[in-house]
Amino acid sequence: MSARPYRSKRHRPCDQCRERKLGCQTDGGLPCVRCRTADLPCTFEHPPPKRLRRESSGNLETHRASATSSADPELSFLPPSWEDQPDHPPSHLPSRGASVTNAVPEPAFTRLEDVPGGVSPALSNHLVTVGRYPTQFVQSLDQLEGFSAQLFGASAESDPWLLRHCSFDDAGVKCFYKVHFRNAGGVPTADKIPVHFMLAADDLAASAKQETSCRFGGDTTREELNRLVPHDYGQRLVSLFVKYVYPALPLISRSQMGLTASCSIPEPGALERTPVHLLAAVYASALPFAAHDDYLCVLQTYNAPPADRLWRMAYELISEEVHTPHLAVLQAALLYLHRPLDESRASLADTPFVWSFVGTIVGLAETLGLHIECRMWGIPAWEKRLRRRLWWAVYAEDKWRSLLMGRPPYIHRSEWDVSELDGADFLYHTRGASSSSSGAHQPQDPSPFRYLVDLSSIAEQIYESFYTLRKSQYLSERFRVSHDTGRPILEKLNDWYSSLPESFRLPNWSKSVSGLAPYPTSIHFAYLILVLFVYRALLRPMARSSSPPLIFDLDELPTNPSALETAVDDSPVLDFLNMPEIESFPAVELSDHSTGETTLNSAERCASIVISFTRRLTSSDFTGFWYSWSRIGFATVSNFTLLLLVQAPNSERAAKGKQLVDSWLRVLRCQCQSFPMMKLGLTRLDAMHWVGLGQTFVLPQHVQDVIQSASN
């Protein structure tokens, strides 16, 4: 075994790194990387401990048992799996430099020393850990350069209840070659299971990345991104993102971008540290708000913004990096879901790709372990906050799109335990500042995103109560049960509305000094859509359905004419041709004071409120951020107004329903000129009027009469 590399006394580790037995990096000058990151004094006051005399090979085993507690951190030992290696490494292992023994293969974590916040001595110096360290130092799961972390679930091939017995080092890591185990830390406890991650080298997935690569032409590189969006341009876009997008989608770590309460413009170095796919998605998300920047508005006047290319860059890299996932991949994917549609696609429904992509995002979040409470883990505070916000963003996407698209959700209650968001999840901490210093900032008002998350939970309850396959089958003909099911949900929606700040409530919610609504208008609209979904479910059993048509399969008809004649003579299947057409008529008896009458009144009032809300929207409302699934909500309103008309139990209700349909149609035709997100709802109504409502639906006579009189 060759001697360890010589280290000059001028570059001996600082007191903090020596005490923790961590590598001391001073490449950028003093203080060292860890002391600067942790805001600790970087001193060299204590003399180095006396070195232990190197043991002979016969005494190596005896010495190893006490190496952890007594050896100098600069004195490294070989892991047991690397003992008794030949003088020259096998051909399949890379060789080290001349200063390190050739018997030791290249360590898997070649760049972990650069990770802020400390590294594992077992990773940097190949220390052998005997037993378990009594403490575990905080270390990021997401910032291991060259490695990605994947959760070992409860039934994974590597049993977490076996891994809990591993002798992890003081960073919670157990090293192997290119795949290592990481203990999350803080668990197991009485009510929490053990949580472990697999740390896999990125180069193991190189071939898989090539298989799913969708790049065309040149490589998607940081150089191309910087050419499309120079740093001075990008800094302003990040500032716009924080102002307009972040309140509704808090998907980035402001702490990691060096943002403070007084400065929302990041340094160029922060942009360089941000992965290309995330930075491209942030830039593209902020471009629609460039008109609010004095510098960018002029640039966009004379230069077409590169939005399409930025979104393409983000998607290309997401498709590759999903094999070696980091939080940035999930962040970029969530932003990609809310990509604004161009004019040519605004009138079209989402393709099946969208729901499939939501499934990819949910799977990615679960791979990263976001569905597990992380507040007790041994990871940095900023990473805990970001992981929790990202989980709730994924949860919201799943619940809203499940309800609006009529799809079974990917996320189920029994599979996650992340606690509700609170003010601590929206702190941002200046790099290098302690948590007790002025570097920690908390917004004065609750984040609008928290209100959206609360609504997402109610959306889940609405879907589970009314719109699952089993619930739909059971409740579609049971009005009383539907009514009793909907009452507590409506009360919960009222409680949510009562929790809003006074200035945010309808109809007197005010605009801020800048002319923008104090909270995203899309959250208000989401609330109204949930109320509408409850009444939509209550309307289902209020009218009976016509008998379904009989099914004939021409491919299965007998080829023998005599057999066909016998079948017709012996079976009454064709008798329905002589039956009068069955009208849709009320299944619930109505009276002035019945529950059915009250439900219809409330449903019509709900539609009127949504129409009035949409009519009163102004340019400042359209300027704010809108969730991309909101456009499905406008189409849902179109459907709801038609439902009130088609199922109207009498002429009076039919006239009211026709009035609502016409009012909504006029509002959409006017507002969609300024807000293309409404075009899908307009297209749905226009198509039915183009064919004719009488030809589109089987209508009761009193409804036909109302429609006919309105067209005269």
pLDDT for residue 573: 42
Task: Evaluate whether 167 touches 138 at the Cβ level (below 8 Å).
Answer: no
pLDDT for residue 15: 79
Backbone angles phi, psi at 16, to 5 degrees: -65, -45
pLDDT for residue 99: 35
Residue 496 three-state SS: helix
> Who has greater pLDDT, 240 or 343?
240
Q: What is the Cα–Cα distance from 288 to 420, expressed in whole angstroms?
A: 31
pLDDT for residue 619: 87
Given phi > 0 = left and psi -120 to 50 = alpha, else beta, which region is 102?
A: alpha
Q: How confident is the model at residue 300 (pLDDT cuts 50, 70, 90)?
A: confident
Q: What is the CA radius of gyration of the chain?
A: 32
Neighbours of 693 (CB within 10 A): 21
Task: Evaluate whether 626 touches 514 at the Cβ level (below 8 Å).
Answer: no
Query: What tokens does 657 get?
Result: 């329903």
Query: What tokens does 686 get?
Result: 């226009």
Please report, rounded to a whole number, the percentage of residues in the chain having pLDDT higher than 70: 74
Q: What is the Cα–Cα distance from 395 to 364, expressed in whole angstroms?
A: 12
pLDDT digits (tens, 9 = 90+) for 623-653: 889 999 999 999 999 999 999 999 999 999 9
pLDDT for residue 110: 38
Residue 440 pairs in a beta bridge with: 429
pLDDT for residue 513: 40
Q: Tell me how many degrees the CA angle 322-325-331 measures, rounded to the nearest 5.
A: 90
Q: What is the Cα–Cα distance from 72 to 19, expressed in whole angstroms?
A: 10
pLDDT for residue 128: 40
Least trusted range by pLDDT, from 67-71, 427-431, 543-547: 67-71
Query: What tokens does 400 get?
Result: 């809203």
Backbone angles phi, psi at 340, to 5 degrees: -65, 140
Q: What is the Cα–Cα distance from 365 to 387, expressed in whole angstroms?
A: 9
First to last CA, the chain: 100
pLDDT for residue 79: 36
pLDDT digits (tens, 9 = 90+) for 423-481: 999 987 655 444 444 445 555 556 889 999 999 999 999 999 999 999 999 999 999 99
Q: What is the Cα–Cα distance from 184 to 142, expressed in whole angstroms?
A: 12
> Is residue 121 pLDDT above 50, yes or no?
no
> Who has greater pLDDT, 549 or 392?
392
| Cβ neighbourhood burial of 680 (10 Å; 0-12, 13-18, 19+) | buried
Q: pTM for the whole thing? A: 0.79
Please report, rounded to a whole number, the percentage of residues in the chain having pLDDT higher than 90: 56
- Average model confidence (pLDDT) for the chain? 81
> Is residue 584 pLDDT above 60, yes or no?
no
Alpha helices per DSSP H over 94-185? 121-124, 160-163
> Is residue 575 pLDDT above 70, yes or no?
no
Least trusted range by pLDDT, from 92-96, 407-411, 501-505: 92-96
Q: Match 């992981």 to its residue by tokens.
A: 387
Nearest CA among 106, 215, 197 for reference residue 150: 197
> Who has greater pLDDT, 638 or 110?
638
Q: How confident is the model at residue 96 (pLDDT cuts 50, 70, 90)?
A: very low
Q: How many helices (H) and strands (E) does the chain have?
A: 28, 6
Alpha helices per DSSP H over 373-504? 381-405, 448-462, 469-475, 479-498
pLDDT for residue 456: 98
Alpha helices per DSSP H over 39-157? 60-64, 67-70, 121-124
* β 173-174/440-441 pair status: unpaired
Give residues with Cβ within 8 angstroms of 538, minimum separation 6: 479, 482, 483, 486, 599, 603
